[in-house]
Amino acid sequence: MAKREVITYGHPVLRQVAKPVGKVDERIRAIIQDMMEALAEEEGIGLAAPQIGISERIVIIDLSKSGQQTKMALLNPEIIFSSKDSVPYEEGCLSIPEVWGTVYRPSFIKVKAKTTTGKSIVIEADEILARVLQHEIDHLNGKLFLDYLSEEDKAKNAEKISALLEENRKKLGHVAL
């Protein structure tokens, strides 16, 4: 089992704006390792550090579940360009299990980030990579894909969402919507 559980909707950490990462040291490498383990266990394609309870600007991507080789860990990722279009896609989130809904996002972006070796890079992304990067960077800003759903999609998922909130209310005594 992964050392850290994936935190679910209602936990306040998911609504916090995460802190920038400074120096890449042992502590940061250990967080990335924990994130990799959690992502592999959940069979996801992307994870942001707040999802394991760490409010720092770290994102990992592993597209092997969608048949691609792309695997990366990004520190302080920032979208520096977005195409003007807006493309629909059915999104889900490991922190909001069993909830799905259509989210419109730009189809092409450029992301500036630091790698784990401290190098500054710019990634040009389209298709699934653009999608997952935007979703994960949103997590660093306390934003969730739920925020974009239509009333119809929200209604469709209402029961699952309330069940998650109820679970966290019991566990934490309070929730953040």
User: What are the residues whose beta carbons fall under 8 Å from the beta carbon of 66, sequence distance 6 or more?
Assistant: 45, 128
CA distance 75 to 47: 12
Closest approach, Cβ 131 to Ni ion, in A, equals 11
CA angle 109, 35, 172 (to 5 degrees): 105
For Ni ion, which is the closer residue by CB, 106 or 142?
142
**Residue 124 annotated as catalytic:** no
User: What are the residues whose beta carbons fall under 8 Å from the beta carbon of 109, sequence distance 6 or more?
Assistant: 79, 81, 82, 83, 124, 125, 130, 133, 134
Q: Are 78 and 94 in contact (CB under 8 A)?
A: no
For Ni ion, which is the closer residue by CB, 72 or 93?
93
Residue nearest to Ni ion (CB): 93
Pattern 56-95, Ni ion, x by CB under 5 A: -------------------------------------x--
Closest approach, Cβ 105 to Ni ion, in A, equals 13
Catalytic-labelled residue, pool 42, 136, 151, 159: 136
Site residues for Ni ion, window 133-152 (CB under 5 A)? none
For Ni ion, which is the closer residue by CB, 28 or 144?
144
For 6, 7, 52, 61, 137, the CA distances from 10, given in Å and listed in that order, are 12, 9, 13, 23, 19
Closest approach, Cβ 69 to Ni ion, in A, equals 22
Closest approach, Cβ 23 to Ni ion, in A, equals 27
Which residues of this protein are in contact with Ni ion, per CB under 5 A? 93
